[in-house]
Amino acid sequence: MRIRLCLAALSLAGGAGLATLSAPSATATATTAATTAAAACTDVEVVSARGTFEPGTLGFIVGDPVYSALQKKAAGKSLSSYAVDYPANLSPTSAAQGNADLVNHVRSQAAACPNQRFVLVGYSQGANVVDNSIGISSAGAVVGSPIVATLPAAVEPKVAAVLLFGNPIRALGKSVTGTYQSRTLDICAKGDPVCERGGGDTGAHLSYRDNADEAATFAAGRL
């Protein structure tokens, strides 16, 4: 594979510091799960698909900082979060599993909480997951897959914003088009080899914490 996507490079070189900050403790994970369950019908749910091997509750590089920023930007609205349950590894079926889980979760959540709105967040392989879920195939992209499920038409108006970072389909010359285009912020750092064809700056792919505030502002303006 030409690019060992996302945090594979970080884990092989220079990732020790991040690893130390990485996986949340069992207590923290349990607390987060309990909080999410208790806030099942918040105004807004942030659904985040992390990148390949990315640590963190929603994703150390993207999901966690975006959620924190959105809590500040979305004044007066209650927020909850959901971490897409999928391997986020280099398996050829990984993104497809995430695609299925995201669609199943949002569909059931929308049925349980009819007034709830959603912000979909995807980083790296997680962007493939979100792309597929809104009907844009990531087949042929780095750690991509064919579409296995899409959000139903009844749920589409409930999706306030789609936030994508280091989106692999961009290296194929593709982007989000159609229904979700005006609600999508798709950020590709200059030189990021995962989303920029011919890019050669691996560090750029790990820089998206810097865009959390921009993304939260975009999403908050659409809630």
Which residue out of 124, 133, 138, 145 is catalytically annotated? 124
- Asked about 201 being catalytic, the answer comes back as no
Which residue out of 80, 131, 145, 205 is catalytically annotated? 205
- Asked about 138 being catalytic, the answer comes back as no
- The answer for residues whose C-beta is within 8 angstroms of residue 94's C-beta and 6 or more apart is 52, 86, 87, 88, 125, 143, 145
- The answer for residues whose C-beta is within 8 angstroms of residue 145's C-beta and 6 or more apart is 92, 93, 94, 95, 96, 99, 128, 132, 138, 139
35 exposed, middle or buried (CB, 10 Å; 0-12, 13-18, 19+)?
exposed
Task: Give the residue numbers marked as catalytic.
Answer: 124, 192, 205
